[in-house]
Structure 1
């Protein structure tokens, strides 16, 4: 059994202690080393191990691939630069390795294509998804007859842009609907579903979302009980005694509409398309500028960009693609609208100007880290949560629960959500007269049997340090009471990561970024955070941290955009 080279193993230990390498990365390196040929030189061995280490870390950071030209400047490569082969030989070394294959070759853990290294499974998912979407885009649309045209005219109110949107969503097998916060994505989606039912009353429609919270929010907005609204995991998951939907057992719905698509990773989206029958229409809805999924890929952003680029040369693409631009929630020229657009564009001057002009009691407030600032922000947080914690009833607490959100970039560290949750919990536990209180929580795993879904917000009623009852959203506007002992995994939710807040809106949002540089800071994270606020926004961040976030476009290394364009060029080529 071959072990890692001694000096490389020691280096891995140092990187792991520094938090730059995870146990799963090291485990993969050991498996890779065992599969390496005995004849390889030391420099070839080091190159392959380094590429695998970087690829493994990249996957944890949401990337699908590593580019051989870009990876030459990676800190891990630079630290071993003097002991690696010349970059001109890297491609040949990887291509000859027994654990690395090319497209269309036999099974292997890694795949090399277009000067990029992938995990083979992710490459297959990406290729399959690009091909599946292209096949749907190439299918002919059903032409509306006279009755259909009249229904479209009435449903659109005679507005031609609206009529074209509805026609594309109703008669084409694939449709993409994008737009920023407040542009009416949910309203438009609901209208599409309602007109679908008018045109085809017997049609089986389903709405799928990445989280249970998003499913409940959409269900309330839809008010159409004959349309199923459930999580993607539930739609695609294994039911007791049954098999998961797939190519040999496709979904039977006439339409699948997926909301909050920016949160859907590559693997889950590929699994959805693998489960679709050729007769099922698909509508994908989301905001491509929001944070990408937790898992690898930026599927919705890549898809929106590819269709935006291609419709310039292939006008027919525009029939399957619509961008909503009018903001119904905020005037595009008020401070909220200007701030969101400034963040989206990475315009630090505009963002800092708007934040700096905010008044202490105004709708937008900026608190810069300084002496006494943490006490000020702490007081703000306590005052914001006190009405919920000290509510006289669960109904009162629930009504106030959605009014405030405290959002952080990370879970760990001085301003991590775990730390802040612990500090606020301790404060309210020790507060005089606060023995009976309500604590905000969030479910962190799906439990189909008990009806809980990952992301469901709730309340725990506490007597001293004992949770006696749990409250969650029930059907409609009712409240569901549950035993804390029967709940799936959960955590306190005084503070949430920005990722967990996606799909939600709050009257007042406080964003905790502090003054420390962080690899997770990005334009999309800040954009997602500030656009959760409806009426008030408080930002606790240094000028430097804000500039860092705005300068980081936060793109992920994927091949989907290029794969979509490549398949599109093949289809449109003559002959």
Structure 2
């Protein structure tokens, strides 16, 4: 069986997407079959969210792709993947144009390789320390952050962001990312002392942008700023696509290296949702002097598209600050900031800060311990948490259709106050507040326990109980009236 026939068979068996086979045949169809196969698997992995294909994935392991297993089984001699790839005109080491790039032991699509280089250079080489009046900054931080008996990591994060061109602040739910950025923006405005400081706020999606607008606005109202200072901080956040000037039906952006964004400081929330290509485009559009503050949760799921940029960057946070950086942050915050060992990736390490205290729930609470166990991937620890009798978490095992129906009834009761206020034509603010008081979170999208399955069944139950009414010629009912993406 030829490699072309094997690729088409893999598509029929849904082991590959049609585009994977077409891509491989286009770039290496007349080439060495090993190169064609590698190109198909690279395209497949890119579709799964991977940036590159490690050559170790081209060996027979338990996780090996079935197409690879079938093809290698027909090959009598061992395969020197690096030698055969580099012998192809479709592959280069990056020193000449080619659709595929082999960098060390990793095979890239050309555009992904270019994107990764742009992002790596930005965080490692472009990131610069910003000279500040440390006495002035220390006084401002002391005024914004009340004294505590322990290290105030929000204060440390603000100090990190105010002394670097590029900074990343990561924290889980309730650690105060928005409060931190509100206070550091207030400090930035006070330090600017009337000089130009154009600030922009952005997030990957319309929903995230709206949430940033609301939460940051509420946090800023609590700070001791003059009216003139408040006017210098924007009230609205936009999506990254809108910020960059995305054109409908086109891949072109209004802002790029030749037409950079008009800003001095950019705050980007929910950075874990930013994929590698979007991060590269954002970097290209920044002005040379522009400062960027990324906010996000390193433990959240990565972006849907290729690349887990925030997660990869935050892997260095465990290395700690360099000794010199720790001493500077200690002076600025008045706390003893521990230093890590060595100087590897110093520029990146000194630009990161992890918010370690949750103000929403304690680390010794049930939800706190459960979250820690889940983030560590420790199944035995997860089971142990449920056996400790915490009052704030409960595990239920649904073993029958009656159990499932009971869960749906509980969901209907949870939405009861929201639906009642909706029918009473209450104030929109009260309706939205009630809606946010009860939410179901699903780990799956499909199936009876997935987002779509549960939504369909809950809607059906609500219709049967006449809690909602669909219009005769529409699937919509009173409540949400549009997609958040259309609003931004």
TM-score w.r.t. the length of structure 2 is 0.80
Partners of 2:134 and 2:381 in 1: CA distance? 50
Picking from 218, 237, 240, the partner of 1:232 is 240
**Structure 1 residue ranges (4+ consecutive) displaced by more than 6 angstroms after TM superposition:** 239-242, 467-470, 487-490
Picking from 245, 263, 269, the partner of 2:279 is 269
Q: Against the structure 1 CA distance between its residues 467 and 115, is the aligned structure 2 distance closer, same or farther, given a 3 Å change threshold?
A: closer
Partners of 1:10 and 1:318 in 2: CA distance? 47
Query: In structure 2, the residue corresponding to 1:365 is in which secondary structure?
Result: coil
Query: Partner of 1:407 in structure 2?
Result: 441
Q: Against the structure 1 CA distance between its residues 143 and 290, is the aligned structure 2 distance closer, same or farther, given a 3 Å change threshold?
A: same
Q: How far has the Cα of 1:213 moved from its partner?
A: 1.6
Q: Against the structure 1 CA distance between its residues 204 and 233, is the aligned structure 2 distance closer, same or farther, given a 3 Å change threshold?
A: same
Picking from 42, 45, 53, the partner of 1:58 is 45
Q: Deviations over 1:450-485 (max 9, x none)?
A: xxxxxxxxxxxx44564688766xxxxxxxxx6x6x
Query: Partner of 1:542 in structure 2?
Result: none
Count of residue correspondences: 434
Partners of 2:478 and 2:461 in 1: CA distance? 21
Q: How far has the Cα of 1:212 moved from its partner?
A: 1.6
Query: Partner of 2:392 in structure 1?
Result: 363
Is 2:412 aligned against 1:374? no
Partners of 2:307 and 2:450 in 1: CA distance? 25
Query: Partner of 2:207 in structure 1?
Result: 213
For residues 278-427 of structure 1, the aligned pairs below 5 Å read 278-309=288-319, 311=321, 312-314=341-343, 319-356=350-387, 363-371=392-400, 372-389=402-419, 391-393=422-424, 395=428, 397-427=431-461
Query: In structure 2, the residue corresponding to 1:407 is in which secondary structure?
Result: coil
Q: How far has the Cα of 1:281 moved from its partner?
A: 0.9
Give yes or no for contact 1:265–1:293 (8 Å, CA) kept in 2.
Answer: yes
Give yes or no for contact 1:358–1:366 (8 Å, CA) kept in 2.
Answer: no
Q: Against the structure 1 CA distance between its residues 143 and 397, is the aligned structure 2 distance closer, same or farther, given a 3 Å change threshold?
A: closer
Q: How far has the Cα of 1:82 moved from its partner?
A: 1.7
CA RMSD, Structure 1 to Structure 2 (Å): 3.0
**Structure 1 or 2: more strand by fraction:** 1
Q: How far has the Cα of 1:265 moved from its partner?
A: 0.7
Partners of 2:347 and 2:280 in 1: CA distance? 24
Picking from 82, 99, 102, the partner of 2:73 is 82
Q: How far has the Cα of 1:291 moved from its partner?
A: 0.7
Query: Partner of 1:538 in structure 2?
Result: none
Q: How far has the Cα of 1:8 moved from its partner?
A: 4.1
Is 2:141 aligned against 1:134? no
Q: How far has the Cα of 1:488 moved from its partner?
A: 8.2
Partners of 1:171 and 1:130 in 2: CA distance? 20
Structure 2 gaps, min length 5 = 221-230, 322-340
Q: How far has the Cα of 1:134 moved from its partner?
A: 1.5
Picking from 170, 186, 190, the partner of 1:178 is 170
Query: Partner of 2:100 in structure 1?
Result: 110
Query: Partner of 1:49 in structure 2?
Result: 36
Partners of 2:347 and 2:112 in 1: CA distance? 30
Q: Against the structure 1 CA distance between its residues 291 and 50, is the aligned structure 2 distance closer, same or farther, given a 3 Å change threshold?
A: same
Query: In structure 1, the residue corresponding to 2:423 is in which secondary structure?
Result: coil
Partners of 1:53 and 1:104 in 2: CA distance? 23
Query: Partner of 1:554 in structure 2?
Result: none
Give yes or no for contact 1:179–1:185 (8 Å, CA) kept in 2.
Answer: yes
Q: How far has the Cα of 1:250 moved from its partner?
A: 1.2
